[in-house]
Amino acid sequence: MSGIDDAWWRDAVIYQVYPRSFADADGDGVGDIDGIRAHLGHLRDLGVDAIWMSPWYPSPMADAGYDVADFRDIDPVFGDLAGAEALIAEAHAAGIRMIVDIVPNHISSEHPWFKAALASPDAPERDYFWFRPGRDGGATMPTDWTGEFGGTTWTKAPDGSWYLHLFTPEQPDLNWEHPDVQAEFEAILRFWFDRGVDGIRIDSAALLFKDKDLPEVREGAPHPFHDLDAVHDVYRAWRRVADEYPGRALIGEVWMPEVDRFTNYLRPDELHAAFNFDFLGCAWDPYLMRDCVDRTLDAHAKVGAPPTWVLSNHDVTRHVTRYGRADTTFSFDNNLDGTPVDLELGTRRARAAALLSLSLPGGAYVYQGEELGLWENETIPEDQIQDPMYARRGHTRDGCRVPLPWSGDEPPYAFSTTTPWLPQPAEWKDRTVQAQTGDPSSMLELYRAAIRLRHSQGAGFAWLDRGATVLAYTRGADFACVLNLSGAPVPLPEHQTILLASGPLDGDLLPQDTAIWLRL
């Protein structure tokens, strides 16, 4: 399959599967590979082009699988390598490509490399990590760096030295200066490409290198571990590996406030695409949204890379909830203050955002459950929270990782035959796949229709003048999208054929927070 349409990622709809929460086939309350295989029909009917699989490797699960102990195997909670290979083959047979997640910044403290490094200061594996002496005669950490989850970034080893971890202590950072580290990950890419995987999603892609002098983070000074220039040599090497396998894509998770620094990762000899967090974090505001779209299209055009459009993922509050708040911008901490959520408003905006994101030029990413209109579960009891970020920042990402509802009127909604690993809201009984299938007003049928119609859009992009608070643009000669962000109903375009609407229309008026697709 990979030899067909070698640039498939340029306009693909890519669906993120969070394997713990997709479907449980063996009845242990945790999702698994066989559960995904059993529900491939849902993804085929949705019309997605590819699946991005969050980590499924052997892991102690200190950070939900992003602490990897072996990149060449499957954690038993999910299945085994034979099952993974069967899923890849069955997805391909259904016309769906497969993307796997690679985590290059760090590995698990249970990885053989790190266990060898801890066992002896003279072990060659010691140089694969960031072991350093402490300050004050070894009593205090080498730096005062703050971790990506908050908290400290150094842990003392048994021999008195300290090792670096930008995330949890169970995720020691790798030393990407070492050629063995570089060679190992190139071999890992080949391992999965040889098994038919069509793409690699790269976690925390900008963090690999650190300033060897270990300076503190200071305003106005170069950052000691964000976006160091040497990281681009790694991705040029990875691109050379990917180019050995036609039709393979490298897709980066690149959190970068500066657009020019972001697009450096998308130069012709580096990554094929990267997530557009600028769009994900944009407030529901016509001026900010228009600027975000222009900024995104301009930046990607300069390097010849396809833009991407992302509304949610496994790390952020689901956008039905975000769009139902007064402040709709993304923040790791945006659900801590008990701000009321208007789920009806959030759902209406999420439906409009679906038509926006699926009609803009480039690739679109759908996080599992987004097509069902799921909202953040913000009522998980504290003793059931599993996210390590909670202990460090008081915020949990578990609310967007709650298992999917498939059918039935009460939990576990056919996700499992037992209690799921995270609790599902009772209110989701109307959000199951079964309940929404065949209902033309449902979120699921809106996504199915939009993805089906998406393939008939033309190329190109041009704004239409419908006023500053209405986003309207054409795709090709005869397709247009209109989104009303004005705060009041506006007249519908005249003499056009409406193909799809995100919500009910009001006679000749387009209600606020509603989008339509038109045939011109």
Please name the amino acid found at residue 453.
Answer: L
Catalytic residues: 203, 244
- Report yes or no: 145 and 153 within 8 Å, Cβ to Cβ: yes
> DSSP string covering 323-382, please?
TTSS--S--TTTTSS-----HHHHHHHHHHHHHHHTTSSSEEEEETTGGGT--------G
> Rounded CA gap, 300 and 503, in Å?
31
Token pair belonging to 232: 């681009």
> Rounded CA gap, 104 and 245, in Å?
20
- Report yes or no: 212 and 222 within 8 Å, Cβ to Cβ: no
- Nearest partner of 275 among 238, 315, 223, 328, judged by Cα: 315
Q: CB neighbours (10 Å) of residue 309?
A: 23
DSSP alpha helix (H) spans, 246-333: 259-263, 277-280, 286-303, 319-322
- Report yes or no: 14 and 51 within 8 Å, Cβ to Cβ: yes
Q: Label residues 212-232 b or e (16+ Cβ within 10 Å = b).
A: eeeeeeeeeeeebbbbbeebb
Token pair belonging to 36: 């995904």
- Taking the CA atoms of residue 187, residue 254, residue 13 and residue 500 in that order, the dihedral angle to the nearest 10 degrees is 180
> Rounded CA gap, 462 and 480, in Å?
9
Give every CB contact of residue 252 below 8 A, 6+ residues apart in sequence. 201, 202, 205, 206, 235, 265, 271, 273, 274, 275
Expressed in angstroms, the distance from the first to the final Cα of the chain is: 35
- State the number of CA atoms in the 13 A half-sphere of 498 facing the CB: 19
Instruction: Specify the DSSP class assigned to residue 489.
Output: -
